[in-house]
Structure 1
Amino acid sequence: MDNLASTGPLSLPDLWDRVTGSQPHPDLWVVIATLVAALAVVVPHGAWRISRNAVTIAHEGGHGLIALVTGRTLTGIRLHSDTSGLTVSRGKPHGLGMILTAAAGYTAPPLLGLGGAALLGAGRITLLLWLATALLITMLLMIRNAYGALTVILTGGTFLLVSWLAEPQVQSGFAYAVVWFLLLGGVRPAFELQAKRSHGGAPDSDADQLSRLTHVPAGLWLFFFHVVSLCSLMGGAQWLLRL
């Protein structure tokens, strides 16, 4: 696909075709290189302390999106510098809507990665970038603290610049790196939560809230988070590597 910035004014039909059209798959070495890059910001502890902010955006965005879908009133979202977050919604304190909202946090990053892998497997690179930008802009409207707003603005601005100004090869590499990051970064938080709970920490975690809502042991909900993240990683890897 041609770079959007390198052409003259586009009509709406032309723009729609460019956004929804398919682009060539990158070479395998690019896919592998972006996988290595994602591992480099997920596995080392120092890099993860910074990159985990992006996973928190997806985590809290998942809570917020499902709250809206299930008819709850989304009050606001806060993102903190310690990579924690808080999503507040109003509605019944029990029932299916509350359960789905609570379950959406840890499952959102890997499922977003899986959806992104499906789009990349179909060659919809530009569509992926624009959808991600739209989701971040929408989330920004619900952010209620300065650090959270800054984090989302920087992340959304990066997506916007890449999707509008970058060359197709750069767009492709960026998109693959982001999806690998979501797939890999979606696995680690559940293991971190498991470690905290094994030492008596995180008594109000999503798993514990779900346990109180459903009377299902928190350990089973934690196992559910593991299943979703690991299955998403395996499924997404097959699409990305075109196995």
Structure 2
Amino acid sequence: METFLAQLVKVQPAPEPWVVVVSALAALAVVTFAASWRVARGLVTIAHEGGHALMALLTRRKLEGIRLHSDTSGVTLTRGRPTGPGMVLTALAGYPAPSLLGLAGAALTVQGRITLLVWVVLLLLVCMLLLIRNLYGALILLVTGGAVFALSWFAPIEAQQAVAYAAVWFLLFGGVRPIVELQRKRRRRQARDSDADQLARLTFLPGGFYVASFLLVAAASAAAGGYLMSPF
């Protein structure tokens, strides 16, 4: 256990600048191209629903469970007052969660805490697995968690660094695109039950205000994370 804890908090040397640049370009490509985004978007959904679940617990709402679907959508089921601060904060937490998680990851990567970052992600996935209420959601979390565990246990530190940087860049970039997609659907009146529209019904502010707020948090997180991880 002492050896494990020592390894967990060990500071790894900074990667070569080209590793940071290539990982950023790779993550940007995955988010930009439709085919790769359709496959990878589910990872953003995991963070999104995890944000709802965490806030529900913090606001003392009863968490019924989480469902992740094969179309990369998801839903977090909670029980409690249908209005009030707890419901508002729970609805608010979804869209900013991937970006804020990416920003936290950026802070750890630039400190060389790659192993700590990997195991924190693994712990979060295990906690989320306990809340999953459908087979596909359990399967996707097991696959993701297995990949993270294999990375931490078998991959050399250079590979861990490259994957960690790519994953953090992906969360920073990937946190922006779903918000843009949300607004497009709202313009076509295809997202009447979106988080933004639920918040509009819960408060006196329009849904567009919340979309703008989500986008501001995502853009600020991407800018701050990019600044932290920039090798130049």
Give the TM bin, normalised by the shorter chain: over 0.9
Within the candidate set 159, 166, 172, 1:177 is matched to: 166
Identity %: 53
Matched-pair contact (CA < 8 Å) for 1:194–1:222: yes
Q: Distance in 2 between matches of 1:127 and 1:142?
A: 23
Kindly provide the amino acid, as one letter, of the partner of residue 214 in structure 2. F
Q: Distance in 2 between matches of 1:41 and 1:242?
A: 21
Q: Distance in 2 between matches of 1:81 and 1:47?
A: 15
With normalisation by structure 1, the TM-score equals 0.93
Aligned to 1:197: 186
SS at match of 2:14: coil
Aligned to 2:92: 103
Q: Distance in 1 between matches of 2:231 and 2:100?
A: 18
Matched positions, count: 232
> What's the offset of the Cα at 1:14?
2.2
Q: Alpha carbon RMSD of aligned pairs, Å?
A: 0.9
Q: Distance in 1 between matches of 2:202 and 2:17?
A: 45
Aligned to 1:3: none
Aligned to 1:223: 212
Within the candidate set 149, 152, 156, 1:160 is matched to: 149
SS at match of 1:105: coil
> What's the offset of the Cα at 1:242?
4.5
Q: Deviations over 1:27-66 (max 9, x none)?
A: 1100011111111211011111110011111111111111
> What's the offset of the Cα at 1:16?
1.0
Q: Distance in 1 between matches of 2:21 and 2:103?
A: 17
Query: Runs of 4 or more off by more than 4 Å in structure 1?
Result: none
Q: Distance in 2 between matches of 1:152 and 1:178?
A: 16
Residues 23-42 of structure 1 correspond to what in structure 2 (within 5 A)?
Answer: 23-42=12-31
Kindly provide the amino acid, as one letter, of the partner of residue 223 in structure 2. M
SS at match of 1:30: helix
Kindly provide the amino acid, as one letter, of the partner of residue 32 in structure 2. V
Aligned: 1:135 with 2:124: yes
Aligned to 1:93: 82
Q: Deviations over 1:129-165 (max 9, x none)?
A: 0000000011001111111111111111111110111
Kindly provide the amino acid, as one letter, of the partner of residue 49 in structure 1. R
Aligned: 1:52 with 2:41: yes
Q: Deviations over 1:63-106 (max 9, x none)?
A: 11111111111111000111110100111211211111101110
Q: Distance in 2 between matches of 1:199 and 1:74?
A: 32
Within the candidate set 138, 145, 149, 2:134 is matched to: 145
Q: Distance in 1 between matches of 2:160 and 2:36?
A: 23
> What's the offset of the Cα at 1:13?
2.1
> What's the offset of the Cα at 1:229?
0.4
> What's the offset of the Cα at 1:17?
1.6
Kindly provide the amino acid, as one letter, of the partner of residue 89 in structure 2. L
> What's the offset of the Cα at 1:21?
2.1
Kindly provide the amino acid, as one letter, of the partner of residue 179 in structure 1. V
Q: Distance in 2 between matches of 1:51 and 1:217?
A: 30
Q: Distance in 2 between matches of 1:18 and 1:95?
A: 44
Q: What residue ranges of structure 2 are gaps of 5+ in the alignment?
A: none
Aligned to 2:51: 62
